[in-house]
């Protein structure tokens, strides 16, 4: 299992704390240190619409100019943005065998997904 995110994000901290408290092994992928590749984003975009993967409530999105925001209209433009501005990706993303198990952190969803 792999958890993608930014270590100083409170939501990512909650997810990591929950996984640790429940003795669930995972690898942490730090977006800031390791970035994200196009193939991974494309895999995620095949599972979720770009509107769910881009955190439009976050500071990074809100800091973009209107032309950039309005230019995100499909998977290709979303992928380009997510690679250029990693912080715009909703996090954490919990993945197992290439499949997204959870987008964001919700304790009940993690219980259902991770404690099978």
Residues 13-66: tens digit of each pLDDT: 999 999 999 999 999 999 999 999 999 999 999 999 999 999 999 899 999 999
Specify the CATH number for 2-114; select among 3.90.1150.10, 3.40.30.10, 3.40.50.300, 3.40.50.1220: 3.40.30.10
How many Å apart are CA 39 and CA 43, to the nearest integer?
A: 6
Report pLDDT for 115: 78
Does residue 116 register a pLDDT over 80? no
Residues 61-81: tens digit of each pLDDT: 999 999 999 999 999 999 999
Give catalytic residue positions.
Answer: 9
Integer distance in angstroms from the first to the last C-alpha of the chain? 14
């Amino acid at each position: 299992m792999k958890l993608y995110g930014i270590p100083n994000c409170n939501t990512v901290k909650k997810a990591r704390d929950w996984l640790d408290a429940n003795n669930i092994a995972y690898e942490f992928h730090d977006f800031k240190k390791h970035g994200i590749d196009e193939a991974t984003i494309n895999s995620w975009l095949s599972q979720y619409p770009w509107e769910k993967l881009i955190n439009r409530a976050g500071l990074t999105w809100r800091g973009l100019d209107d032309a950039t925001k309005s230019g995100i209209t499909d998977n290709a433009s979303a992928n380009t943005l997510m690679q250029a501005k990693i912080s715009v990706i909703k996090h954490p993303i919990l993945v197992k065998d290439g499949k997204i198990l959870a987008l964001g952190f919700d304790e009940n969803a993690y219980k259902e997904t991770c404690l099978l």
